[in-house]
Amino acid sequence: MSGPVKIALVGMGWWGQKMLAVLQAAPDDIHVVRAVEPNMASVEKLCVDRGVALSADYADALSDPEVEAVVLATPHSLHGEQIEAAVTAGKHIFCEKPLALTKAGAEKAVALCRDAGLVLGMGHERRWEPPVAELLARADSGELGRIHQIEANFSHDKFLALDRDNWRLKADQAPAGGMTATGIHLLDLSVRLLGTAESVLCICENLSSDLPQGDTVAAYVKFKGGGTSYVSASLANPFISRFTVFGHKGWIDIRDRAHVEAPDGWIVTEAMAGGPITTCEIGPAEPVKDNLVAFARAVRGSETYPITADHLVNNIALLEAVFKSALSGQIEKVV
């Protein structure tokens, strides 16, 4: 097939609406033809204005012959069932993070899509931020040398204003503080750079809020091939996003100027062996859009989607161990 991939956006809350907005800039790659939202009244006018069919039932998207792929911006606990139903219907799948809450769930999702010949995309848009993409390429080329350590923090206080019955604040659906909201992006980048994790120590506390899953989390990860990553996140302090990689030939520190919801560019500081410390600013981009475009191009077969099955499974295996360690307060093996 050719032309833009026709998709259904499933879940039209905060993030579903963000994706609908940015995809207006990708008409040659993706066309949103349907939206699914149980609370239809909340987005009815938006969908009418955008010319997008709206229904409350996921089955409507799966039975629609015009829909080639579904984009799931839904609660984490629904992903497994929704992915299985989409595979049965022959639809490609783009899933917001996390793919699953257990390694077994991730393995099942990956296997279902692989065996059906369907593309599985993942909402790890941080990989498409221009300075992060450049960092990954430079690390792959050997320019940074042996990667020793990663230090990263991704925090915001947006959830403090949510109703306390919101699924994003439920300890059983979003455990370990901000790990499923923000920290998982940093785990993904750590796995991308250092490979399979071996063990993790996670501390999750509630220091300044009534958030039931905790508001402050930190995880210290050891990798099988050597190297460590320190990932931290808060749901109760003003926005910060920092990702720093240290190698024996050089280091790079990337700081976002604003949340990816409304990106405003990045500040990059770095030093290579024998050289000075330099700082530069990089202008805004839309990594959420760019990730979805990469997914659509993989569906059309013109590009290979860069988040591999191993990355997906290894990330969730680490996430599951983080959850265990947050409860036990002990170092947990990644299995």
Instruction: Compute, in degrees rounded to 10, the torsion defined by CA atoms 195, 196, 198, 200.
Output: 80
Cα separation, 56 vs 60, in Å, equals 8
Cα separation, 20 vs 108, in Å, equals 28
CA distance 324 to 266: 34
Task: Provide the token pair at 95.
Answer: 């899933």
pTM: 0.96
**Distance (Å, whole) CA 47 – CA 227:** 47
Instruction: For residues 328 and 335, give the distance between their C-alpha atoms in angstroms, rounded to a whole number.
Output: 16
Closest by CA to 171, choosing from 216, 213, 214, 217, is: 213
Where do runs of H (alpha helix) occur along 68-102? 79-88
State pLDDT tens for residues 118-138.
999 999 999 999 999 999 999
Model confidence pLDDT, tens digit, residues 278-325: 999 999 999 999 999 999 999 999 999 999 999 999 999 999 999 999
pLDDT at 171: 87
From the CA atom positions of the chain, what is the Rg in Å?
20
Please check whether residue 33 is in contact with residue 66, taking contact to mean a CB–CB distance below 8 angstroms.
Answer: yes
Pseudo-torsion of CA 300, 302, 306, 307, nearest 10°? Answer: 10
d(CA 2, CA 107): 30
Q: Output the pLDDT for position 151.
A: 98
Residue 186 corresponds to which tokens in the numbers above? 């940093």
Q: What is the pLDDT of residue 1?
A: 79
Q: Which residues pair with 192 in a beta bridge?
A: none
CA distance 142 to 218: 29
Alpha helices, H only, the chain: 14-22, 44-50, 58-63, 79-88, 103-116, 130-141, 184-194, 287-300, 309-328
Alpha-carbon distances, residue 184 vs 86, 97, 180, 271 (angstroms):
24, 8, 5, 27
Q: Nearest Cα to 183, choosing from 136, 222, 221? A: 221
Residue 97's pLDDT is 97
| DSSP codes of every residue in 4-20 | SEEEEEE--SHHHHHHH
List, for the chain, all residue ranges whose pLDDT scores fall below the cut of 50: none
On the CB side of 139, CA atoms within 13 Å amount to 23
* CA–CA distance, 298 with 119 (Å, rounded to integer): 7
Report the C-alpha gap between 111 and 309 in whole angstroms: 9
Domains of the chain: 5-124 (3.40.50.720), 126-333 (3.30.360.10)
